[in-house]
Structure 1
Amino acid sequence: MSLTTQKALIVSEIGKPVTLVSDWPIPEPSTDQVQVKVTVAGINAHDAKSRDWGLFILLDLSPATKQDPGATDLPSVLTHDVVGRVTKLGPGVTDLAVGDRIVYQPSFTPGSTQNGLQEYAIADLGALAKIPDSITDDEAATLPTNIITPLVALFEALQIPTPWSSAAKEFDYANTAILIVGGGSNCGQFGVQLAKLANIGRIIVVGGDQTKLESFGATHVIDRHAGYETILAKIRGIVGDDLVYAYDTINPPEGQLLALNALSSSKKGALARLLPLGPVDESKVLGKRAGFDVHDLFGSSHAHPELAAEFWSRAPRYLEAGQIKPLAYEVKKGLLPSNVNEVLDAYTDGKRVTKTHIHL
């Protein structure tokens, strides 16, 4: 007799700690899906926002709906970086086998059966990759959410051709420059790696460890503490008036003025931003005669299915070749509420957090 229930850590009430249940239903795979026995669930900053105020749990985050307990997907399981072994194949799955190790990004849709803090979960084809033998579960688990966001930033929002596309043959990567603000963040570090993967000629990064970022492919690393005018002058000293691509991984709108003011005045530029907390004060963006665009990011494989599927199909060989390098992580062992709440509390309190993986 097969099991029908499992242990899971759940958010049962917004603003309260996650709790452990032992009667959570085990999901079954549908067409183009696999069931996974979860080995690693990676926690990110947005998981704290889910627990604390309902991000990706509340069906509508308007103030009126927050007061309506019926308009929620509760109880709910967290985490969108998941590694596990395939236990069942859904109809249409031919390229995977039971026992394969995979890394995947769950859907952000409320009610998803794919999130990681449960013993068994579901993964979709197109949002997963087999893990090469040379890569550990934890190394693979550093990827999903933190690499899909810059993937969308560079190759969809900023419309730089992907290095595997037909358009890549005509694009002058070598004479292209990109500015990445927030190089110390996970999304910033993977952004540098993706820019290098595309052989972009000048990869200018503000913030982060210089040695590490240069090993990832950064051509210039600027101290984020140098001061606004000094940083802006250094960027312009590198790119002149040629910068048309910028990616900010860390700043609220007032901090995004640095990237916007670094953009070219004579050529239309664009900023892809991870934190769209409101409009930018355009009166403080000076001299942009050709104009600029601001793109808000949602780093979801399911929201960008074609781009994500193309990347995930290539991810194993990028990892094997060292073209994509996993990032730093810490481990907590056991599907225990204390393990997860401690990390979520640290994010909530604004503490520096190394990406943490829960070993189930």
Structure 2
Amino acid sequence: MRAIVFEGPGKLGLREVPDPVPGPKEVVIEVAAVGICGTDTHVLDGEFEGTVFPLVPGHEASGTVTALGEGVTNLAVGDRVAINPSTTCGECEYCLTGRGNLCRNWNGLGVVASDGAAAQFLKAPVSNVFKLKPETDLYQAALIEPLACAIRGYDILPRKMGEHYLVYGAGTMGLLMAQLAPRAGAASVTIVDLNESRLDAAREVGIENVYASADDADRDLWDVVIDCTGVIRAIEDGLPRVKAGGTFQHFGVAPVEAKAGYSPFRVYRDEISIVGTMAVLNTFGRAVEMFEAGAIKSVPMISHSFTLDDYNEALDKFRQGTGRKLQIRPNDARSQVL
């Protein structure tokens, strides 16, 4: 089959690789779509902790089951599915205490040491494969993985009804976090981004308070501030905007060695909570339920699809911040503006 391979930091190519064969309790999936994510760029740039090269990237995926390994009884060939890319050891302290997303041997398909979905076919453990309804749009369903991450973000927030939310970044994760905020009890949601196209997308999915800078908003402080950019300048701008007793959440992925400056005195004096959130934890099934229930407006979020041949173009477009969610559709014959 054809696949994108990250050969090492900064090096990638389109290669012919062996077709995957399912082992016990594994399935093979024909990939319909895989989203390009900021994590992919960190992996390619050698900035993601633990990555082992060479690696087929891609972790936001959906597709159709084409082969079953021994012992698979809950899926059938032809089933439409979404794939949870997170795998854990099941044996470390964190796995044994119900915190598998913190597993010291955590392995994300297409992120750490297992091949991902930027290929015509993907092999995955059956426990990571979630069946979709026959009518679910497979291309849109590639957003279920980031939605599962967003739900984990809300699971860990010490939230209350009637709070005011500020979200930095109107990319995929920012749009998902902003759309979920009212369901989590937000009285208002504000989103900021420097990219006008992404601000347009925020308006299309129903966010009313949309600005290029938080200085332009009609509030000075918010109960909850969520950074979905991983950009140090945004983080340093956002933390001082947390109301006393409020919460700042690091959601965006920053480079491993990046440092941000803040006032420890203010965190102490105002009892600011700072929380992180890592991948998914018992949220993927709920993400399928929420997605199929129409909890998010997914159509405005996806702007372009690319073939494997155009992967470099898609990655360049992502780095430039043009377009909205960009997808690779490995078995399509041509790239499209959607």
Q: TM-score range by the shorter chain?
A: 0.7 to 0.9
Q: Which residue of 2 aligns with 1:190?
A: 176
Q: Which residue of 2 aligns with 1:322?
A: 294
| Matched position secondary structure for 1:83 | strand
Alpha-carbon separation, structure 2, partners of 1:142 and 1:216: 14
Q: Which residue of 2 aligns with 1:269?
A: 247
Out of 203, 219, 224, the position equivalent to 1:245 is: 224
Q: Which residue of 1 aligns with 2:132?
A: 131
- Structure-2 change in CA distance of 1:89 and 1:45 (3 Å): same
Q: Which residue of 1 aligns with 2:20?
A: 26
Alpha-carbon separation, structure 1, partners of 2:246 and 2:223: 6
User: Bigger CA drift: 147-156 or 205-214?
Assistant: 205-214
TM-score, length basis structure 2:
0.75
Measured on the aligned residues, the alpha-carbon RMSD in Å equals 3.1
Checking the alignment, whether the CA contact within 8 Å between 2:31 and 2:122 is kept in structure 1 is: yes
Alpha-carbon separation, structure 1, partners of 2:188 and 2:65: 41
TM-score, length basis structure 1:
0.71
Alpha-carbon separation, structure 2, partners of 1:222 and 1:332: 29
- The amino acid across from 2:46 in the alignment is G
Checking the alignment, whether the CA contact within 8 Å between 1:126 and 1:309 is kept in structure 2 is: no
Checking the alignment, whether the CA contact within 8 Å between 1:269 and 1:293 is kept in structure 2 is: yes
Alpha-carbon separation, structure 1, partners of 2:47 and 2:318: 14
Do structure 1's residue 74 and structure 2's residue 53 form an aligned pair?
Answer: yes
Alpha-carbon separation, structure 2, partners of 1:230 and 1:206: 9
Residues 34-93 of structure 1 deviation map (CA, whole Å, 9 limit, x = unaligned): 221223232223323323x2345x747xxxxxxxxxxxx332101112221112334554
Structure 1: gaps (5+ residues): 1-5, 61-72, 161-171
Residues 91-111 of structure 1 deviation map (CA, whole Å, 9 limit, x = unaligned): 554432221011223232633
- The amino acid across from 2:271 in the alignment is G
Structure 2: gaps (5+ residues): 87-107, 332-338
Q: Which residue of 2 aligns with 1:181?
A: 168
Q: Which residue of 2 aligns with 1:155?
A: 155
Alpha-carbon separation, structure 1, partners of 2:60 and 2:210: 30
Q: Which residue of 2 aligns with 1:342?
A: 313
Out of 206, 215, 219, the position equivalent to 1:235 is: 219
| Matched position secondary structure for 2:150 | helix
Q: Which residue of 2 aligns with 1:280?
A: 260
- Structure-2 change in CA distance of 1:79 and 1:96 (3 Å): same
Out of 13, 23, 31, the position equivalent to 1:38 is: 31
Q: State the identity %.
A: 19
Q: Which residue of 2 aligns with 1:204?
A: 190
Q: Which residue of 1 aligns with 2:79?
A: 100
Alpha-carbon separation, structure 2, partners of 1:330 and 1:142: 14
Out of 10, 32, 35, the position equivalent to 1:15 is: 10
Alpha-carbon separation, structure 2, partners of 1:249 and 1:154: 13
Alpha-carbon separation, structure 2, partners of 1:142 and 1:274: 16
Checking the alignment, whether the CA contact within 8 Å between 2:32 and 2:62 is kept in structure 1 is: yes
- The amino acid across from 1:12 in the alignment is E
